[in-house]
Structure 1
Amino acid sequence: MRKLRVLAVAMAVVLLLSTTSAFACTAVYVGKNVSEDGSTIIARSEDQGTGAYNKMFLVVDRVENVPGRTMDDVQGFSYPLPATTYKYTMVPDSSGAGDGPYMGACTNEYGLSISATVSAYARPEVEKVDPYVEGGLREAVLTGIVAATCKTAKEGVEKLASIIEEYGSEEGNVIMLADQKEAWIFEVYSGHLWAAQKMPADKVAVFGNQFMIETVDPADTENFVYQKDLFTTAEANKWTVLVNGKVHLAATFGEPREDYSNMRTWMGHKLLAPATAGEYKTETLYPLFYDPAKKVSALEVMDVLRNRYEGTKYDASLPGNESLRVIGVERQSQIHVIQVKDNYPKEISALQWLAFGNAEHSVFLPNFSGITDTYSAYKVDGEDYNSNGAYWKFKRICTLAEQNRSFYGQGVKDYWNFYEEDLYNDMKTAEAKMIKLYAEDPAKAKKYVTDLHMQISEKACKDADHLYDNLLFFMMDRFGRTAQKLGGPFVPEISLRDAAADKGYTVKWTGNTKPIVLTNGSSSYSFTLGKDTCTVTKGGKSTEVKLSFAPLEKNGTTYIPLDLAMTL
């Protein structure tokens, strides 16, 4: 979550009117015992104060025995790095954004993944006693410091604690760290006060911009660590809030609950454990961790991060709800879902799904953490629109789709959902191959996952360009026409080969004027370029169906309507 220093004066005015920041993020955690595939999942949306905010995806190489280096922030903070630092991936701001690197999410060569941060805010009296430290640790650099210097989640917790002890913190933050053994949540309450909790493997969590750690037994050092004066400072200043005889940290140090953040936390319950959600109440201290109704997949986590309160009276599409702060906000810049898997080699311990733009109308693309380089479109720098950049390729589709979510946007969502499900299934085969290759030769495995990243990214960028052109033409063609002449909503074109392969169909094609036949067992689809009908045969019965548009050929690729592909 972003706190742009260049907006400090404007923000000061806003904060006089409201305790809520203009910027925000939402986080999701799924323990390995309750995830669909046994992976630990940490996920977060990075939301900006503006809708156009370029992000990149890069690999930072390992550095051996080069002393004297530092990790620097724009406000003067400088942290001395050890002579040897570790390789890691990151999702930084463009270099001219002006507020520091903001690595966003990192995975390193020792199997540590970190997502930081969800900004959160302390009670005014807490900040008065232990104010934030100008020039202290910020979200802008903390992910990179931890990824470059730590091998485990617990070591990352200890590193953060030591830095805050020495330098102080300039902001309140919630951080998630995970390795193949365990996961931790780390909360920074004020300039020097902090606490961390081991996240249970059999629970899930979804939360907005608020502190969430609940009741704590100070003697439980296996599951909790905290700043040495945390409890005595609270007691001395009469802040302590007890629940069932134990100190409730969120209530003790955090600002009172408000709709901006708490409604997102409630919606997490509604999505993952609906029987426990109840009616939303602003002041409720919803639990951080809880049992999901069923095991949760990475695909479902992606949908949580797209959510706009659909199916509730707070649905953002309903009149009067336009100002509600939803999870799937339009000013997202990058959204990551990191799966840490026990059966992966430590050096390639995670599968990170990364979306640029708005999760609602973008696509999550998979990247194994052992990659040694990233696709060229992810390296395009700059603050201005550049159609060569991955961020801009996906963000521009979101911008068009969200002009009319039902007429334009639904087709885009369907297209990317189809795409993600295909990739999700492909990764099951890819991970088995990666594990086998790593056992033979780690270098081969790293080359394989890097090549795979390049192939997936290049194809997705090309497909995004086609989808953008397809949607833009659809919108231009209908601009200025009356509702009666608009016809049906946008249905994307999808590659025939992709659709057939995804659904297990073979393609028989003998020329543009002859039928193209897709076959899978006793099922078949027969259609011809330029004709908007299709003969569908299933169970020995043939039916002629009307298509949204006639299949067509562009630049050597045959395209069919997405709604046809979804019926295969």
Structure 2
Amino acid sequence: MPCTTILVGKKASYDGSTIVARNEDSANGEFNPKRFCVIDPRGRTSYTSKISHLTVPLPEEGDVRYTAVPNADLSRGLWEEAGFSTRGVAMSATETLTTNERVLGADPMVVYRPAKGTPESDGFEPEQSGGIGEEDMVTLVLPYARSARDGVRILGELLNRYGTYEMNGIAFSDVDEIWWLETVGGHHWIAKRVPDDCYVTMPNQLGIDSFDLADALGEQNGHMCSPDLADWMGRFHLDLTLRGEGDDEMVFNPRDAFGSHSDEDHLYNTPRAWSMQRFLNPHAQSWDSPEAPLGPESNDLPWASVPERKLTVEDVKHVLSLHYQGTVFDPYGHMGTEATRGRYRPIGINRNSQLSVLQARPYGPKAARYVQWLAFGSNPFNALLPFYAQVSQTPAYLEQTDPKHVSTESFYWANRLIAAMADANYAECVPAIEAYQQDIQAEGQRTLAQTDAHVGCQGLDGVAAIDTLEEANQHVADYAREKTDELLAKVLYERSMHMANRFARSDAQDEDNG
């Protein structure tokens, strides 16, 4: 899936939280309804993928409940995408990545192949299952991981054993660490710990730009990888690093070794990283100057950067809604030309399905530390809602998405309707949309602060804490529903007033008087 990710280390965030956030976008020409729910995996003994027809036995114990954002239509599989387990481990999977021919030749993807012929016929070839992919990863890993680092280990072992049919980036976090894993070919992978004082931008390209193999194959302080990665890279001459005298022979650039620098990247991928970094480090360079060292088509935009100030959840929502505001590339703007305004793929796009911002907070009562912020639909037009993750159920407004029945009873569909109508009259609708976003997100922050205080003061734990957190979640959903219905009415009125068949008696009178 074409997605966009930002990761914020705990020393780069406003409150010491680790923050993992990703837009899940549907494929071109498709729209994928989503729902927010709690998954109880107890009793599952195996899992079978819809896409690759792969059956994986599941551990007999150690699984715990977790939140997820699966497809509403299960015909193509679960696609659970993002959530927190009750252990406080978060996972976001996946960011689709690009690669190159050398990697694909050295370690081909593990692709499902249907059977050819019948067992009784000559030349019969039995079905060959594929590897694991985005459809499967949260289901196979999140309920079993005991930390972010352990999530990397579990997924790495699955990739070593079963392989994958696609290049993906996966984020794991807990209250202390964020790890980013990138698949490399069919069976290989690398993972790097996000520096605590940095943020990371990921726009559908293999992103890690420096990797220490000695650490990954040794102490694993900040790097992990496939056990045979060094031998495999040497055998197929994948390291492209030009080293000078005294350079570390075990440090290399994975982006050069495993990634791509295609013309499509320069239109579809790198401009998104540029726009995020332009907002988060506005004084790092003259971003809009033709002489700027890093432009929207640069191959060398850094994977990790130290921000100019601490970053908030609202900053994360803003960058994952960007459409090149303030530049000649903004499709809603008036700068530049018609050609420049459609040149680059925005982050906030019509095909945004859901945005999950996974915030692991180090303060307050332990039962209330983990918050999954959610938005559905096109991000320039929606708002982000906070939900406590250590719960046993989610509000119906977000959980009961009917994939075939458009209804304002569903948060997903209500947001899709607002965006589709407001898009045509963006300038007229944006004041109401921005007021709605601020209102809902402020109420969310107020609810978190009030609920944190109540849980802490009362010393709530267990069922009592869950009940309180679920009440807070329901309040957020009810408030969002009321305000979303109000915004829908405003946008509907504005759009109706601009219909092509609008006509009033005064229009004819003005023509007669002319």
- TM-score category, normalised to shorter length: 0.7 to 0.9
2:356 match: 336
Measure, in 1, the Cα distance between the counterparts of 2:498 and 2:204. Answer: 40
Measure, in 1, the Cα distance between the counterparts of 2:156 and 2:396. Answer: 36
Amino acid at match of 2:376: F
2:241 match: 242
| Structure 2 residue 367 is the aligned partner of structure 1 residue 352 | no
Measure, in 1, the Cα distance between the counterparts of 2:25 and 2:150. Answer: 28
Alignment counterpart, residue 299 of structure 1, candidates 314, 339, 344: 314
1:40 match: 18
Contact 1:108 1:347 in 2 (8 A): no
Contact 1:342 1:349 in 2 (8 A): yes
2:330 match: 315
Amino acid at match of 1:182: E
| Structure 2 residue 155 is the aligned partner of structure 1 residue 160 | yes
Measure, in 1, the Cα distance between the counterparts of 2:484 and 2:327. Answer: 31
Alignment counterpart, residue 197 of structure 1, candidates 192, 195, 199: 192
Please, what TM-score do these two structures have when normalized by structure 2? 0.85
| Structure 2 residue 404 is the aligned partner of structure 1 residue 384 | yes
Measure, in 1, the Cα distance between the counterparts of 2:439 and 2:396. Answer: 25
Deviation at 1:183, TM superposition (A): 1.2
Deviations 1:123-181 (A, max 9, x none): 11211221110210111110122111112111100001100111011110011100112
Measure, in 2, the Cα distance between the counterparts of 1:154 and 1:243. Answer: 31
Measure, in 2, the Cα distance between the counterparts of 1:337 and 1:357. Answer: 14
Alignment counterpart, residue 61 of structure 1, candidates 40, 56, 63: 40
Please, what TM-score do these two structures have when normalized by structure 1? 0.77
2:91 match: 114
| Bigger mean CA offset, 473-482 vs 300-309 | 473-482
Alignment counterpart, residue 176 of structure 1, candidates 171, 176, 179: 171
The alpha-carbon distance between structure 1 residues 344 and 163, as it changes in their structure 2 partners (threshold 3 A), is farther
SS state at 1:311 partner: coil
Measure, in 2, the Cα distance between the counterparts of 1:224 and 1:400. Answer: 46
SS state at 1:403 partner: helix
Measure, in 2, the Cα distance between the counterparts of 1:399 and 1:335. Answer: 18
The alpha-carbon distance between structure 1 residues 422 and 51, as it changes in their structure 2 partners (threshold 3 A), is farther
Contact 1:256 1:283 in 2 (8 A): no
Measure, in 1, the Cα distance between the counterparts of 2:83 and 2:242. Answer: 35
Structure richer in strand, relative to its length: 1
Equivalences, count: 459
| Structure 2 residue 99 is the aligned partner of structure 1 residue 91 | no
| Structure 2 residue 227 is the aligned partner of structure 1 residue 206 | no
2:467 match: 447
1:421 match: 442
Contact 2:210 2:253 in 1 (8 A): yes
SS state at 2:304 partner: coil
Amino acid at match of 1:154: R
Deviations 1:506-542 (A, max 9, x none): xxxxxxxxxxxxxxxxxxxxxxxxxxxxxxxxxxxxx
Measure, in 2, the Cα distance between the counterparts of 1:262 and 1:394. Answer: 28
Contact 1:215 1:243 in 2 (8 A): no
| Bigger mean CA offset, 281-290 vs 445-454 | 281-290
Query: Sequence identity of aligned pairs in percent?
Result: 26
| Structure 2 residue 108 is the aligned partner of structure 1 residue 131 | yes
2:6 match: 28
| Bigger mean CA offset, 255-264 vs 397-406 | 255-264
Measure, in 1, the Cα distance between the counterparts of 2:134 and 2:258. Answer: 20
Deviation at 1:281, TM superposition (A): 5.0
**Higher RCO (CA < 8 A, seq sep 6+):** 2
2:273 match: 265
Deviation at 1:482, TM superposition (A): 8.3
Measure, in 1, the Cα distance between the counterparts of 2:497 and 2:401. Answer: 33
Contact 1:368 1:449 in 2 (8 A): yes
Contact 1:308 1:316 in 2 (8 A): yes
1:374 match: 394
Contact 2:69 2:80 in 1 (8 A): yes
Contact 2:261 2:299 in 1 (8 A): no
Stretches of structure 1 that go unaligned for 5 or more consecutive residues are: 3-23, 487-568
Deviation at 1:204, TM superposition (A): 0.8
Stretches of structure 2 that go unaligned for 5 or more consecutive residues are: 112-129, 508-514
Contact 1:362 1:413 in 2 (8 A): no
2:486 match: 466
